[in-house]
Chain A
């Protein structure tokens, strides 16, 4: 994992990457996912947790998670294909 562990996250959704000096903002759903990923949860577990916490279908949550992981990769916060 590495990268995710090092990120500083605030409850308001402010993310600071101490390695690169970049800052990010994330919404509450994004923060929820990031925390689970940081704990090492799998993609299936994250989807499960999303449907339990929020009013969302499994299908939509799974679709959005794919998109979110892609956003993390594009922002350099997830290295290569990781079997999260």
Chain B
């Protein structure tokens, strides 16, 4: 009976992928024990005991590596822990750096390498797109006003002004452009990305690379309805040959290892790469629902078991998120607050 920890069990209005991963794992193997790694005693996953068998409060990654890894070691020693599937952006650098250390402790992961992780940086995307034969919206990386005004005069309004990790704004004029340039710089620093606006269908692909150029399945979707926070609420599976070929190209060129989400815009003739996330998206259960249980396959790969590779899903399957209510007593809350685990 394997024990696996997942993070991102904050199934709130801006959800983490953890609960979807846990649900997939349980469908893959009913015997599996799933541990939730939480950052706040109010994360809903802690209270969903039919999916998450045990929950632990984790120190923030910003508190430093040692504290974080020691917490995992504590879980390993006290309850046993065979693998971890981290699902939050802020944790990934730490897990990637600590992967070997965790492996030595007997905690398996299946993560991209640091070099692969770096590819997701927005200023690297044009390079990636060129190698795999897709387009990127014309993009200029700038670090000063001088370059900003040069860039927008090249691209023409409207343009997107983006930070290197987070934030993206569509702007119509120079005043807006400089305003967002300043606000992103003050929060996230340099450089700033100035990008052409492309119109087309926004499509995403979730997948798991095997680290040797192949993969354990891909599922392509289109978001039909998004919330005011930009999160998917309903979606539909799609089979866009050009897009799936491009993603297979990406996996094979870079020998991508681990989970990823490939975000793009497809037009009649072209695929434009928008973003690569080096982890599962929050809607990952969609893939499981259409018969391609990517989280479970990733777990098998981490444990050294050859996973299934078939990914013949049907186009036109619908994904519908919905809200639910749960009533419980204070015991679980009290325990996680006082002891940090429940």
Complex A–B touching at CB under 8 A: yes
Q: Which residues of B contact A13 (CB under 8 A)?
A: 338
- Judged by a CB distance under 8 angstroms, whether A10 is at the interface is yes
Chain A interface size band reads: under 10
- Judged by a CB distance under 8 angstroms, whether B143 is at the interface is no
Contact B339 A12 (CB under 8 A): yes
Q: Which residues of B contact A75 (CB under 8 A)?
A: none
In the bound complex, what is the Cα–Cα distance between A63 and B330 (angstroms)?
Answer: 34
Contact A25 B330 (CB under 8 A): no
The digit string for B134-163, where 1 denotes a CB below 8 A from any CB of A, is 000000000000000000000000000000
- Residue of A10, A14, A16, A23 most packed against chain B (CB within 10 A): A14
The digit string for B241-268, where 1 denotes a CB below 8 A from any CB of A, is 0000000000000000000000000000
- Judged by a CB distance under 8 angstroms, whether B100 is at the interface is no
In the bound complex, what is the Cα–Cα distance between A25 and B335 (angstroms)?
Answer: 11
Contact A10 B338 (CB under 8 A): yes
CB distance from B325 to the nearest CB of A (A): 18
Chain B, 308-342, CB within 8 A of any chain A CB? 330, 333-335, 337-339
Q: Which residues of A contact B334 (CB under 8 A)?
A: 10, 12, 14, 16, 23
In the bound complex, what is the Cα–Cα distance between A16 and B335 (angstroms)?
Answer: 13
In the bound complex, what is the Cα–Cα distance between A23 and B332 (angstroms)?
Answer: 13
Contact B338 A23 (CB under 8 A): no
The digit string for A10-46, where 1 denotes a CB below 8 A from any CB of B, is 1011101000000101000000000000000000000
Contact A12 B330 (CB under 8 A): no
Q: Which residues of B contact A25 (CB under 8 A)?
A: 337-338
Q: Which residues of A contact B335 (CB under 8 A)?
A: 12
In the bound complex, what is the Cα–Cα distance between A14 and B337 (angstroms)?
Answer: 8
Contact B339 A16 (CB under 8 A): no
CB-CB nearest in chain B for A16: B330
In the bound complex, what is the Cα–Cα distance between A16 and B330 (angstroms)?
Answer: 9
Q: Which residues of A contact B339 (CB under 8 A)?
A: 12
Q: Which residues of A contact B337 (CB under 8 A)?
A: 14, 23, 25
Q: Which residues of A contact B338 (CB under 8 A)?
A: 10, 12-14, 25
CB distance from B86 to the nearest CB of A (A): 28
In the bound complex, what is the Cα–Cα distance between A30 and B48 (angstroms)?
Answer: 32
Q: Give chain B's interface residues, CB within 8 Å of chain A.
A: 330, 333-335, 337-339
User: 3 closest Cβ contacts across the A-B interface?
Assistant: A12-B338, A14-B334, A14-B338
Q: 8 A–B contact pairs at CB < 8 A? A: A10-B334, A10-B338, A12-B334, A14-B337, A16-B334, A23-B333, A23-B334, A23-B337
Given contacts A12-B334, A23-B333, 16 further A-B contacts (CB under 8 A): A10-B334, A10-B338, A12-B335, A12-B338, A12-B339, A13-B338, A14-B334, A14-B337, A14-B338, A16-B330, A16-B334, A23-B330, A23-B334, A23-B337, A25-B337, A25-B338
